[in-house]
Structure 1
């Protein structure tokens, strides 16, 4: 068996997230089907994480193993870079493979990732070209106040207050290294970078920072929310349409 990493991007609007689930169309389901057809054997991918319904990815990694398709047909040979066009022709237009490359047999798309980064986009005026790509926010926000609060995030490690309830994680600790808003194309872009993220964490953080921007809570209250470790105290999750996984880092991937 040979293990491969596959890098892809996708528009998540019509998908119920990355991970295969019953009675719902997902990115992983479409990718596994395309790979299985192309390589003429059953292929199952393992993703670098999971994205929720409607969330996008400009960079996403998964790994999969290839062996002989049958006794008569050996392991697929050739240059992995030349497989990309054929696999893309089998995928829906919303999903695009960027590259495929060999990795060590024990390389893992999820557990070997050292850092991940997300962007969140929101805009303030109706724009048909941002439909399902950005959150239309109708109101004013205090950018400086939101950035003051965002700058506090790296000082904490336990983000239980921003995590979806009843998840299967062993710890809610994360190491955030960067979090800030900046103006972008008639709206704002939020960037956050960490070693790992909890389910729904980014959208809950932004929902709470928006409360800062609306002057509903202050910095002291923001700290109290984090320290409470209670999801009920944090803000509502913002819509999924503005969220993009933009970067996943590995020590062995350039």
Structure 2
């Protein structure tokens, strides 16, 4: 069973679940992956915590983690990029594997045969400041470019608009900033906040080919992990 530590934000969690379903090779209900979701909307703002002017979200995330464990989750996903700043701390508290969203992105690039790629990162201030993408992708041979300070302010505004349900307004801002990163030489632009794919769902085909969706990459990684686990013999059978 896949456990989803969600609610950061709620629409992004639903989007992730839809992508898990779309990524699953299924011909009937019973072919799909069982999921249990903790929509932990009470988790304090992750970016505020990273920038040292907000409450620590780790206790609330650990509470959600325990709920997923007690519900029978055997693999866990967190459809929030910024929350992955605490991935190591969360994984240290459980034996249940927590898939890392940036590992899923790196694996996607590898499957495409892309090495030494320059990736643009559209993300929250927290994700950028914590270098969640820069560190992980550098270890896999890629380079990241982030927006300048003025553009980053606009991106944060757009993310807040999505959370408030004003998706079309956010899309116009994010389209401009994605195009700016492409113009700076990025081969692909990672929509590295789970709200961003919601706002850029209807971009034109030319820009669409340059966008990389980490939410979708994580969903596919979860499907692969759950299907592989379902083929393994149980302890009793062994």
Same fold per superposition (TM over 0.5):
no
Name the one with the larger strand percent: 1
Structure having the higher Rg: 1
Structure with bigger helix share is 2
- What TM-score do the two structures reach when normalised by structure 1? 0.27
State the TM-score, normalizing by the size of structure 2: 0.28
